[in-house]
Amino acid sequence: MRGLSFDIAHLLAGSLVLVSFMQLYQDRLYALLNVYALHALLLAASVAWQAFVQDAPHLYLTAVIALLFKAVVIPTALHRIIVRLGIHRQIETVVGVGPAMLLGMGLVALSMVVMLRVTAEADPLAREDLAFALSVVLLGLLMMVTRRNAVSQVVGFMSLENGLVLAATGAKGMPLVVEISVAFSVLIAFIVVGIFLFRIRERFDTVDVQALDRFRGERR
Amino acid sequence: MMVEYTLYGVAALLILGPIAVAFGTSPRGNGVVYGASLIVSLTLCIMALLTLLDHAVVPGVTLPLGLPWLGARFRIDALSAFFLVVVNLGGAASSLFALGYGRREHSPERVLPFYPAYLAAMNLVMLSDDAFSFLVSWEFMSLTSWGLVIAHHRDPENLRAGYVYLLMAGFGTMALLLAFGLLAGADGNYGFDAIRGSHPSANLAALVLVLAIVGAGSKAGVVPLHAWLPLAHPAAPSHVSALMSGVMTKVAVYGFVRIAFDLLGSPAWWWSMVVLAVGGITAIMGVLYALMQHDLKRLLAFHTVENIGIIYIGLGLALAFKAHDMPVAAALALTAGLLHVFNHSVFKSLLFFGAGAVLNATGERDMEHLGGLIHRMPQTAFVFLVGCVAISALPPLNGFVSEWLTFQAILLSPQLPSWGLKFLVPAVGALLALSAALAAACFVKAFGVTFLGRPRTPAAADAVETDSNSLAAMFFLGALCLVAGILPGIFIDALAPVTRTLVGTNMPHQVGLDWLTVVPIAESRSSYNGLLVFIFVTMSGSIAAFAIHRLASDKLRRGPAWDCGYPDLSPATQYTASSFAQPIRRVYGTTLFRAREIGEMPPPGATTPARLTVDLRDLIWDAAYAPIGAFVNFAAERLNVLQFLTIRRYLTLVFGALVLLLLVLAIWQ
Amino acid sequence: MAVIRDFILQGAQMLLVLLLSPLLTGFVRKVKARLLRRQGPPLLQPYRDLMRLMRKEVVLAENASWLFRVIPYIVFAGTWVAASLVPTFRSGLLFSWSADLIALIALLGSARFFLALAGLDVGTSFGGIGSSREVMIASLAEPAMLMIMFTVALIAGSTQLSTMATHMASGEVGVRVSLGLALLALIMVAIAENARIPIDNPATHLELTMVHEAMVLEYSGRHLALIDLASELKMLLYVSVIACLFVPWGIATPNGHAAEIAVGAVAYIAKLTVGGLLLALFETSIAKMRVFRVPAFLGAALMLGLLATLLLFVSRSL
Amino acid sequence: MIDALTGVLIIPAIGAGLLAALPGYRLTARLNVLVALLTFLAALSLFVVEPRSGSYLLVDDFNKVFIVLTTFVGFTTSVFSASYIVHEIEIGRLTPTFVRFYHAMYQALMFAMNLALVANNIGLMWVAIEMATLTTVLMVGIYRTHEALEAAWKYFILGSVGIALALFGTILVYMAARPVIGEGLEAMVWTVLITHAAKFDPALLNVAFVFLLLGYGTKVGLAPLHAWLPDAHAEGPTPISAVLSGLLLNVALYALLRFKMLLALNPAAIAPGPLMVIMGLVSCLFAAFMLYRRRDIKRMFAYSSIEHMGIIVFAFGMGGTLANFAGLLHMTMHSLTKSAIFFAVGHIAQVKGTQKIADISGLTVTNPVLGWGLVLGVVAIAGLPPLGIFMSEFLVVSSTFAREPWLATILVLGILVALGGLFLRLNAIAFGEPRGPTAKAEASYVPMFAHLAIVFVVGIYMPPALVSGFQNVARLLG
């Protein structure tokens, strides 16, 4: 049982990392959002599995939150937005897919190295999970860095949050406060982002962050 | 009790500041503030004098201020007593001067509040007995004087002067801070007594000394840290210029003496090499710079640089003798330096007052626009002349005495064992002699062009004699110059306790030698008697006058000056300051200042005037200061890009930082 | 008793230098004229000039200030006092210790300072030329003089002229390189300070070439007399300084009796004569140099002086 | 029974609710002041009766200092903001609705910061800092100009990334603590963590600290994580700039210090000092150079905040009682001074109708009080005596130079460069020929001069109570 549970958790976490990679090479927003939905789905699954393993019922709640908000609500909403903004066909990457992937590999390796330093008596499950979570976080950050478009940056940010949730659930018996705060923050984040997008919409013709950057505090 | 009383005086001065603010622009503020500060500084001066003269040890005072676990410690020993005398004498004189001068100040609300605080700060530096309160007072002094420098802030030149000044002051303070940091150690024993107790290792002491030279030197105006001085001193109102030049530079000297002679313990022989070299270069560079000026106040400021150099030469010799424990010689050299501190503070204040009086009467600082003032303001001219003679180190006035003592000290130096000094000291002596001669030349120019000849502008033509207060201040200082010149023994004896505390012994007791002669070592060696020389000169002069007037003719007729047959030469044909300096400029300036004379002569028949422009370059500024500014600009320009990045780039920075740190972790262990 | 004698001697010295100085000038002029195969003015001509000037009225430029009228007396007094403090025929005079060599140099310096001011007072360009060149020359001559003083003082272990003289007279000094250098430098300085050829031409009145004469161009009558007398005193002073430092033989010791003093006086006169002769020879044998070659000349003097001192400093430790 | 501790939290919370509900900006402004005052009093009462700290809330000498400072500056700022906001409405830059929102957010921010300070639970603390960020984001964007929105957006993105990193670090700390302490709430409680810190897994702690340093360091505004700070200061309403510089940075710093203490207790873990020292130096130097090219007066002082945060972090990084003491002192003095400066700057910008340095000149002539106030503030912030920052800089530099000469030299370099930059601009602003509108300001000078007075007094005389308190904390920080 132990071994199996471990393998499944491992599998789920690993596939989460994989999906993060998939995100990295989506250059169309539509596809990106879909992949993100998948990402959230996997997250929900792994959280649920953790709930089952640690038989911590409150984690199921987290799983549901993840499922509903991240896998369903947010992607659809973002779909709407990008359609309305008419940028759903936009192709935008700063760093080419190849280099991005290479960087991603490097990051995963790095997170492994860093995490496997952890002494073993912190139980292996947590250790593996943490390694994966860290790489998910880093990949999310990498994505934010390599994308030019506000929506995809938000997506990157949220996949980063997924990494956090993964880590949090991996941490055995972590009080509920964390998950709630995560969900809470993500919610707030999303609302604020929404507000901003609309505000920005009112003023600029695009949500391209560069357009924002054109209005610097100190133009010559 | 002395310390307490002095602190009360300082407190009174500090309170005067807010009162001055309350007065604002009202004319009464002038009288009140300057009157009060005159009284206070006079009292402080007298008290300090008493402390200096009865060699009693005054108990220190610790107030619950400053660093909480240390408190603000105040103490007066012979050294600080002497400098307190200098400071408060200058303070009293300039307050008296300002009683008249300040009335014509057009923005008193920018001068009055800072002035007493400035005096108080200088007193506090002398009093403070721990590193923290020393530095606080030191920097407070710079701050208040900065406020005074930019009092006339509408002139961008003054603002720039203030800016440079404040930066240099901050630099100096930081240097001193590091020095004290080294002395105090990691656990921060900032009390001077604790510092005296801790005997730093040789390297540490060397580093501290260098920092002290840099820190105190940047305030004293030691070349090449002098750049701010000729900018800031003239910018301030004249009585403040007098204080800055005559007194504040002495405070800096005090800081150096305190560290090098007192806190650091026994010196290494090569320290004196550094100090001597610095002093010699400063002296000669200062006077050469001064010769190139035609702004009266700036010329005086550069002479301050020169005299600081002379003082440092004295101090350097004292260090050398102390290091090879020759206490008698050390006492002589130190006395020479300190006596020059006093003398310079007197005649430099006097000269700045004179410049201020001229400035008030004509609204001009540029000598090229002055001339013939001796007719319009005879008394100012006379007392200014006294100052000129004194600063040119001519007998029988006081400037000569201290330089004479310095020469005597140099003549003792062959007994020094170390080779470096054997070569350095004569060279420094030559520099000293050279700078003395050049100083005389420079003041012939300053006095001659400003006060003699014919007025070059209407402003100069209808100047009026300055007010009685200013004259009183100037005549007081002039008299002091004479007294210190003809009765130097008294002053030398007054310095005895200082030298005894710093180098262990003092010069032979002077007062009571027959005819009040000054005898540094032994009469067979050398002696000087200002009094007799003065009497001889006056006597023989008056005898000659009397004899001639009585026996030969005393008839006198006024006639036009000899004009080579060209009638009525315009005042423009007189020698100007720059043309007067031309021979010297050709001799020294061509290499040191890249001096070039560009003369454009119009073709025959053209009506355009011929003109000759002199182009000088301050190599020190070009070499030391300009590059720093350029670098800061460059760095600022380059880094400024970071203000204009896109969010994504900023995120990249964060990301980079994260990855970097993780890598560090991965590699660490 | 002794004090009175000292007073008398001191007074005698003061009068002596005062009376001798025009004679020296006259002597030099005479010799120069002779060397040029001219008759030349009589020896006593300088006295006559002085007398005449004294009796004439003073013509003062309109805007000459009070300073202008005081200066001649200051200059004269300063130079006279300086001259009378140099041991001439007897060392250790009553007031010789009241000013040492440095003070003497400084006294001459103050005389020059005021003279240069006088040049600027009237506000004509000649005065300006004169004083600006004068201070330029002085700015090199004075340090050179001080360096020489260093050298001798270090050898004699004192800056007191009479002590120096006695020490030099005592044979223990011997011949030193640095002394030779110092002597050379001192002669150069003396020539410059006294405005002799090749630095300046005391006889000329062509404005552009003259230095000293240009400064005093505005003076007349008794003022001019005093200034001329002062410059003659100055020349005498330099000759006697050279004499008492480098050929101190014959100078009477402080406690010497009358005969010794007489010898000293004779020796002094002899020295003056020789000095005058040499000066005249030198002046006739060389031409005046351009003003801006002077710095090189005096710079050389300064360097010689410094070299002498350095040599001394080093040799001290050997 | 409601004790001071809960008071510090509840009063602003209720205040926020009320202010959100009530109309009428003049009234609400006054109410805002009142609430802030009450909070401050509650905080003061912490000294009188020390409430015992539970597993969620905690009061010790360390955070008492911060709480009192925060509530005090919060109070004075609310006074300033009252006069400021009125002017903003009169010139129509803000509408009453937005002002209502603004006041509500102001108190929410106060609540969040106080919560962050008193939280005994690292999760709770994180949540609180979170909230503080979001409220400030909303307030920065309140003017809805291009620049304001850009600033807020930048702040939001960078801020939330920082938040995320901090959370990850928090989780890691929990993971490290769990094997020792056991599962559940206990493993996130400060007081418990501190006692067991020595036995935690060092590798986990290291990773955790890296994330916390970057996460909370973003809030502190350390270079190169500072990017949000200048624009947020420049574009938001000036009271918020004051609060940001004066308080929020400190709160983030507080969190960082807590974790530093944790790490310092674990011998096997990486030493947090060097990391902090390096980041501090980098920030100090960088910000100092950035001062030279500034055209916007508020942005300039924002950069000076970065510089001082650098110095403070440097001091704490150096560690040792003296340096820690200096760091605490410097932090307090900086909050007071900088907020005072922002008060002055706010009024100046209102009088002159611009924030562009180029358009402001000769202020001491046209508005002497404001002008000299600014001069005094800059003198203080530049670290000139006899004001408080000189003392702290003196202690930092002199105590460091004996240990690490090179570091101290670099720091001195930064301070000097900053001095140059500040006074270069001050000369242009305060002196010279006056330019632009010369209307008198209807300003409330009280807060500004109150702050400056405190800074001045502390620079000369530190009350023993303050000293002992600081020294205790300095010892705590090790």
> Residue A201: its pLDDT value, please?
46
Contact C123 B395 (CB under 8 A): no
> Residue A219: its pLDDT value, please?
43
Compute the nearest-CA separation of D158 from chain B (Å): 7
Contacts of B667 in chain A (CB under 8 A): none
Q: Does B393 touch chain C (CB under 8 A)?
A: yes
Contacts of C106 in chain B (CB under 8 A): 393-395, 400, 404
Name residues 127-186 of chain D within 8 A of B (Cβ).
153-154, 157-158, 161-162, 165
Paired sense of beta strands B72-74 and B61-63, if any: antiparallel
Q: Which of B407, B432, B526 has the most C C-beta neighbours within 10 Å, making it the best mutation to test the interface with C?
A: B526
Nearest to A218 among B643, B646, B669 (CB): B643
On the question of pLDDT at D1 being above 50, the answer is no
Q: Please tell me the number of Cα atoms within 13 Å of B425 on its side-chain side.
A: 34
Contact B517 C67 (CB under 8 A): no
Instruction: Please state the domain extents for chain B.
Output: 1-197+224-257, 578-600+610-617, 624-667
Q: Which of B287, B419, B537 has the most C C-beta neighbours within 10 Å, making it the best mutation to test the interface with C?
A: B537
Pair C57, B553: CB distance under 8 Å: yes
> Residue A47: its pLDDT value, please?
85
Q: Does B135 touch chain D (CB under 8 A)?
A: yes
Q: B with C: 3 or more CB pairs under 8 Å?
A: yes
Query: Cα B207–B210–B211 angle (5° rounding)?
Result: 85
- Residue of chain D whose alpha carbon sits nearest to that of B64: D461
Pair B425, B321: CB distance under 8 Å: no
What confidence category does residue C318 fall into, taking pLDDT thresholds of 50, 70 and 90?
Answer: very low
Paired sense of beta strands B556-559 and B611-615, if any: unpaired
> Residue A92: its pLDDT value, please?
66
Distance CA D278, CA B657 (A): 12
Contact C139 B434 (CB under 8 A): yes
- Residue of chain A whose alpha carbon sits nearest to that of D300: A218
Q: What is the mean pLDDT of chain C?
A: 88
Burial status of residue A80 (CB atoms within 10 A of its CB: 0-12, 13-18, 19 or more): exposed
Nearest to D292 among B186, B632, B642 (CB): B632
On the question of pLDDT at D396 being above 80, the answer is yes
| Three-class SS state of C57 | coil
Contact B647 A111 (CB under 8 A): no
Pair B240, B105: CB distance under 8 Å: no
Nearest to B639 among D228, D290, D379 (CB): D290
Which subunits have 3 or more CB–CB pairs within 8 Å of chain B?
A, C, D
Contacts of A189 in chain D (CB under 8 A): 160
Contacts of A108 in chain B (CB under 8 A): none
Q: C with D: 3 or more CB pairs under 8 Å?
A: no
What confidence category does residue C316 fall into, taking pLDDT thresholds of 50, 70 and 90?
Answer: low
Distance CA A13, CA B564 (A): 109
> Residue A165: its pLDDT value, please?
83
Give the pLDDT mean for D126-136. 88
Q: Does C127 touch chain B (CB under 8 A)?
A: yes
- Kindly list the averaged pLDDT for each block of 10 residues, start to end, along chain B of length 669: 89 92 85 94 94 82 88 92 96 95 88 95 94 94 95 92 95 94 83 87 91 94 92 94 95 95 88 94 95 93 96 95 91 95 96 95 91 93 96 92 93 84 89 94 95 92 91 96 92 92 86 76 79 91 91 86 75 87 88 86 86 87 92 93 84 93 85
Nearest to B659 among A110, A147, A218 (CB): A110
> Residue B507: its pLDDT value, please?
85
Compute the nearest-CA separation of A174 from chain D (Å): 6
Instruction: Report, in this order, helix, strand and coil percent for chain D, each rounded to 5.
Output: 80, 0, 15
Q: Which residues contact D416 (CB under 8 A, 6 or more apart)?
A: B167, B170, B171, B174
Which subunits have 3 or more CB–CB pairs within 8 Å of chain D?
A, B
| Three-class SS state of C294 | helix
Compute the nearest-CA separation of D38 from chain B (Å): 31
Give the pLDDT mean for D21-31. 85
Which subunits have 3 or more CB–CB pairs within 8 Å of chain A?
B, D
Distance CA D288, CA D306 (A): 9
Nearest to B655 among A113, A141, A210 (CB): A141
Q: Does D20 touch chain B (CB under 8 A)?
A: no
Partner residues linked to D461 by β-bridges: B66
Contacts of B645 in chain D (CB under 8 A): 227
pTM reported for the whole predicted model: 0.93
Contact B651 A117 (CB under 8 A): no
pLDDT in tens, C251-276: 887 777 788 888 888 999 999 999 99
> Residue A162: its pLDDT value, please?
85
Q: Which residues contact C251 (CB under 8 A, 6 or more apart)?
A: C87, C88, C89, C90, C91, C165, C166, C169, C244, C264, C267, C268
pLDDT in tens, D319-366: 888 899 999 999 999 999 999 999 999 999 988 888 888 889 889 998
Compute the nearest-CA separation of D210 from chain B (Å): 7
Q: What is the mean pLDDT of chain D?
A: 89
Q: Does B210 touch chain D (CB under 8 A)?
A: no
Distance CA D183, CA D176 (A): 11
Which range has highest mean pLDDT (B302-316, C200-214, D264-278)?
B302-316
Nearest to A113 among B643, B645, B666 (CB): B666
Q: Does D268 touch chain B (CB under 8 A)?
A: no
- Residue of chain C whose alpha carbon sits nearest to that of B522: C158
On the question of pLDDT at D20 being above 80, the answer is yes
On the question of pLDDT at A198 being above 60, the answer is no
Distance CA D378, CA D31 (A): 32
Cα D353 vs. chain centroid, distance in angstroms? 27
> Residue B567: its pLDDT value, please?
72
Q: Which residues contact C311 (CB under 8 A, 6 or more apart)?
A: C177, C178, C181
Respond yes or no on whether ipTM tops 0.95.
Answer: no
Name residues 249-268 of chain D within 8 A of A (Cβ).
none
- Residue of chain B whose alpha carbon sits nearest to that of D276: B661
> Residue A187: its pLDDT value, please?
54
Nearest to D384 among B67, B139, B180 (CB): B139
Q: Does D208 touch chain A (CB under 8 A)?
A: no
> Residue C116: its pLDDT value, please?
95
Pair D352, D345: CB distance under 8 Å: no
Contacts of A212 in chain D (CB under 8 A): 146, 149-150, 153-154
Nearest to B647 among D154, D382, D432 (CB): D154
Nearest to A114 among B646, B655, B665 (CB): B665
Backbone angles phi, psi at B593, to 5 degrees: -120, 10
Distance CA B36, CA B95 (A): 9
Smallest CA-to-CA distance from D114 within D42, D168, D203 is with D42
Contact B139 D270 (CB under 8 A): no
What confidence category does residue D203 fall into, taking pLDDT thresholds of 50, 70 and 90?
Answer: confident
